[in-house]
Structure 1
Amino acid sequence: MKNVFFTLGLLFTSSFFYAQTGHIMQGIGATNMSMGGAATAQPLEISGALQWNPAAIAVFDSKIIKFDLGLFYSSPELYSTVPEFDSSGNPTGNFYSGNTKDDRGVSPMPALAMVWGKENCKHTFGASVFGISGFGVTFPESSTNPINMPQSMGGFGRIESDYMLLQFGFTWAYEFSDKFSIGVAPTFNYASLELMPNPTANPTMAGYPSTNKASATGFGGQFGLFYDSGKGLKAGASYKTQQFFSAFNFENTYLDNSTGTNEFKMNYPAIISFGLGYSKNKFDLALDYRIVDYENTDGFSKTGWTPTASVAGFGWKNVSIVSAGIQYKGFEKLPLRFGYTYSSNPIDSKVTMFNIPATAIIENAFQFGFSYKATNDLVFDAVYHHGMSNGKISGQLLNPMFVSSSNPYGAIPGSEVSYEMKTDLIMIGISYTLNVKSKINN
């Protein structure tokens, strides 16, 4: 076994653990989540409109405040297989395998939104505080899974990360006519990140260090167009710019208690959204298509090893997202909603190791939600979400000692690392209208 642990010891100085519970939120608030996140052309309530199309808030002619709180649970599982090598570095044909389940538990998801609209006024204003991105994982130390074995035995021990991005938005929409509006929203961001171990730092003989929780601030903007034919059909488009952040400044502590510092910059990607909506009698339909530009975003665009054996970035491909939802209003005071979300996988199998465990890879998500209209100005919302990865995301273990012209990432023959996950969310919301007037087709 000592040769296996020696192999893992080499990997300790060259492995990247990037863990997520969903880097980009598919929707904001209970109503928008229950529609699969679709709102670019179907603004059923203010949170989804503020998040996906600032021009769409022009449909609201009232002062509205909305608060949502969700409990999010993910269940990623990490698998690894390593070959045994003899003293000459040749594989013996024996393998060791195991798996570890995440024990992070439940995470809260808050959202606060406000809109100021007025009848016969062409200007509508909004403000929001949304948790739009986050990831985190806690894989405990294991005596059976090679990749989580104690560090004294050549494994990585406990793997933990925690990332959060809070966005503050201020929105203005202008109504050119009853059918067409534009919108703009400057955005300001606060993010925090903690990694154990920290692969963005240069390793020493003691391996990669653990870090403090570092923070960064950023800014960006969003622009939108919204069209309502007045006959049920609606269309919208929006562009959220890349959110440009300052660097995370990490204070690192290595296993031998030595210390050091390093910086890592990670922006939030630009997103372009197109949407169609249709409202008729008792039904509201919504369909959105989004492109997430990871390939031109700091922290995601590059990948591979640096000359000092730290990791350059995550190496993600662009992501396509399809969101669809339907609302049925046949029950008095109790509209029902069903939503579906599809997301493509940004991670190539060649760089799976650099993204352990990429728990944001939820390809299919299903939602059911409803609202209860207690009064004309008070509405309660609820949603249940279930998401799944499309089987295991797998690749080979990587080590810079194996790098060659034909093996640029240093894949270890016969090795494998993989992960899969499911997500569940329960969210409730409350919306209060100060003066009940709206141009929405309810």
Structure 2
Amino acid sequence: MKNLLRLVVVLFTSAVFAQAGHVMQGVGAVNMSMGGASTAQPLDISGALQWNPAAISVFDSKILDFNLGIFFSAPELSSSLPANMLYPGSPAVSGTTLDDRPVSPMPALAMVWGKEGSKHTFGVSAFGISGFGVTFPQDTNLPMDLNGNPNPSWDPTNSNPINWPQGLRGFGKLKSDYMLLQVGLTWAYEITKNLSIGVEPTLNYAALKLEPNPIASPSMTLGYPVSDKASAIGFGAQFGIFYHSDGGIKLGVSYKTEQQFSDMTFSNTYLDGSAAPDVDFKMNYPAILSFGLGYSMEDFDFALDYRRVDYENTDGFAEKGWTNTGSVKGFGWKNINILSAGIQYKGIKKLPLRVGYTYSSNPIDSELAFFSTPATAVIKNALQFGFSYSINDNFMLNGVYHHGTSDGETSGPILDPMMASPTNPYGAVPGTNVSYSMTTDMIMVGLTYKFKK
């Protein structure tokens, strides 16, 4: 039992890699295979609990759903300097660093209690709903050592300045690890046989580690420190309305409030091992408004969702720029739009097949791209293929394959707080560039168990 509890803790506190900003596009194999669309098309309990608490009213039995995915990501970080920047006559410099982070698990656990003839349905869920993480190693192809001695074998065409050591005005090794686990308790009530409402109080746990930690003020001689993993507890809620007509048309709307967190307190250490001052940082989870349209006929289920994610009014994301001590205020992200669509074909006995697509706009302005180098998990287009197999009346096996791409680079100038001024508020360094792109792949399997009535 102790080993099982340790496994559960490890799974649910692992980094979850989001697909739309830092918001997971879906939860569980079924919902992911529909592109995350579930606000008005509750094909499974995990998708309904995540996107519209009112929609669990369609389930009239006790159901348990567990999913586990393996996530692969391939971020790339590039930067460049113009000629003559290092010293008079120096060549232009550019390079790319590949992420060397291992694969990550993605768990999801949900349960619903429904009863035929009852107006009340209850649910509980534990989902990893947000996260990002990169590990870009320090560049070893350097123009000089920390004492200023030139490196005669230096290749400026394959050298990434942003990953140079801090002594050469780079970040060195760049690493981040963020996750958010959300536990929800859901109640849905049928006002009529076609109309339901739902409410879901949520309890959240978030953890963040940064290396180096740009939230801390740098030392003039020691640079930015490295942080330990800081954590915080947050609270929020989600509300929903769900309508399904007798003709197969379904409508849904839900609103997830901003998840309010306590401050994260980072204990920091400089690279030479000396202690750096602790620093507090508040990073909430944004409010999300979702609208859904669904339609079901004999062999097909269609789903379409639109979401609006409010980063511009969320602590940690709304703030931008430098403090007067050279630390970063926040990410400075814009609001984003997410479109999810999916179709399920049920014409094969015991083997429903699904295809889903997800589009997300980019929350990162080019002039602020530098601030988001630790959080490059921005996927513009994602495609999913999934299936279910009915083992018997009680067990259903579910699976999905996901592939996502950023569809080009997010790029902007390198920023330096020492160059910030009223006419150059973010300290853009002329002629420089930093950019990142990413692809993602995931395989997830799930098992749904319907208890005997």
Report the TM-score when normalising by structure 1.
Answer: 0.92
Match of 2:160 among 126, 145, 164: 145
Instruction: State whether residues 42 and 56 of structure 2, in contact with CA within 8 Å, keep that contact through their aligned partners in structure 1.
Output: yes
* Correspondence 1:248 to 2:264: yes
Alignment partner for residue 439 of structure 2, among 422, 429, 433? 422
Q: Deviations over 1:11-70 (max 9, x none)?
A: xxxxxxxx9654110000000000000000000010000000000000000000000000
Tell me if 1:129 matches 2:142: no
Which letter does structure 1 place at the counterpart of 2:316? Answer: G
Partner of 1:439 in structure 2? none
CA distance in 2, matches of 1:126, 1:420: 38
Whether the aligned pair in 1 keeps the contact of 2:175 and 2:374 (CA below 8 Å) is: no
Structure 2 distance, partners of 1:252, 1:37, is 38
Alpha-carbon separation, structure 1, partners of 2:200 and 2:226? 37
Q: Distance in 2 between matches of 1:419 and 1:265?
A: 25
Return the alpha-carbon distance in structure 2 between the equivalents of residues 134 and 402 of structure 1: 31
Offset of residue 400 of structure 1 = 1.9
Stretches of 4+ aligned residues off by more than 6 angstroms: none
Answer whether contact 1:21 1:136 (CA < 8 A) is retained. Answer: no
Shift of 1:95: 1.4
Q: CA deviation at 1:245?
A: 0.3
User: Counterpart of 1:263?
Assistant: 280
Moved more, 320-329 or 392-401: 392-401
Q: Which moved more, 1:51-60 or 1:257-266?
A: 257-266
1:103 aligns with 2:100: yes
**Greater displacement, 175-184 / 152-161:** 152-161
Encode CA deviations 1:241-292: one digit per residue, 9 max, x unaligned: 0000001100000123332200000000000000000001100000000000
1:47-62 matches, within 5 Å, as 47-62=46-61
1:86 Cα shift? 6.4
Who is 1:37 aligned against?
A: 36
Equivalent residue for 2:196, pick from 157, 181, 187: 181
**Residue among 218, 238, 249 paired with 1:203:** 218
Task: Report 1:57-68 matches (<5 A).
Answer: 57-68=56-67
Name the aligned partner's letter for residue 235 of structure 1.
Answer: L
CA–CA distance in 2 between the matches of 1:155 and 1:411? 15
Deviates more, 1:53-62 or 1:76-85: 76-85
Which moved further from structure 2: 21-30 or 223-232? 21-30
Tell me how far apart the structure 1 counterparts of residues 420 and 230 of structure 2 sit (CA, whole Å).
31
1:404 Cα offset (Å): 2.4
Per the alignment, residue 384 of structure 1 pairs with 401
Q: Does 1:213 align with 2:213?
A: no
SS of 1:37 mapped into structure 2: coil
Q: Does 1:164 align with 2:163?
A: no
Matched to 1:132, the amino acid is I
Q: Give 1:260-299 correspondences, 5 Å limit.
A: 260-299=277-316
Moved more, 356-365 or 264-273: 356-365
Partner of 1:191: 206
* Match of residue 417 from structure 2: 400
Task: Give CA-to-partner distance per residue, 1:124-149, whole Å, 9 cap, x none.
Answer: 00000000011111011112322112
Which whole-Å CA distance do the structure 2 matches of 1:318 and 1:95 have between them?
36
Contact 2:133/2:374, CA 8 A, preserved across alignment: no
Q: In the superposition, relative to structure 1, how do residues 59 and 329 fare at CA in structure 2: closer, same or farther (>3 Å)?
A: same
Question: Contact conserved, 2:17 with 2:24, CA < 8 A, in 1?
Answer: no
CA deviation map 1:104-142 (0-9, x unaligned): 020000000000000100000000000001111101111
RMSD: 1.5
Q: Give the secondary structure class of the aligned counterpart of 2:367.
A: helix
- For the residues of structure 2 that align with 1:57 and 1:21, how far apart are their CA atoms? 24
Indicate conservation of the 8 Å contact 1:21/1:137, yes or no: no
Identity among equivalent positions (%) equals 64
Tell me: CA distance 1:154–1:304, structure 2 relative to 1, closer, same or farther (3 Å). Answer: closer
2:342 corresponds in structure 1 to 325
Report if aligned partners of 2:186, 2:198 keep a CA contact under 8 Å in 1.
yes
Q: Is 1:229 aligned with 2:226?
A: no
- Give 1:405 shift: 2.5
> Conserved in 2, the CA contact under 8 Å of 1:174 and 1:181?
yes
Q: Which amino acid is 1:375 matched to?
A: N
C-alpha distance in 1 between matches for 2:423 and 2:17: 30
Q: 1:253 to 1:305 in 2, by over 3 A?
A: same
Q: 1:153: Cα distance to partner?
A: 4.3
Task: Tell me, in whole angstroms, the C-alpha distance in 1 between the residues paired with 2:243 and 2:171.
Answer: 54
CA distance in 1, matches of 2:25, 2:374: 19
Describe the SS at the equivalent of 2:321.
strand
TM-score scaled by length of structure 2: 0.89
Residues 1:366 and 2:383 are matched in the alignment:
yes
Cα pair 2:358 2:381 within 8 Å, conserved: yes
User: Using the alignment, how far apart are the partners of 1:261 and 1:80 within structure 2?
Assistant: 30
Q: Deviations 1:353-387 (Å, cap 9, x if unpaired)?
A: 01115422100000000000001111000000000
CA contact (8 A) 1:282 1:328 kept: yes
- Residues 239 and 316 of structure 1, relative CA distance in 2, 3 Å threshold: same
Q: Which amino acid aligns with 2:139?
A: S
**In structure 2, what residue type is equivalent to 1:369?**
G
The amino acid that maps onto 1:340 is Y
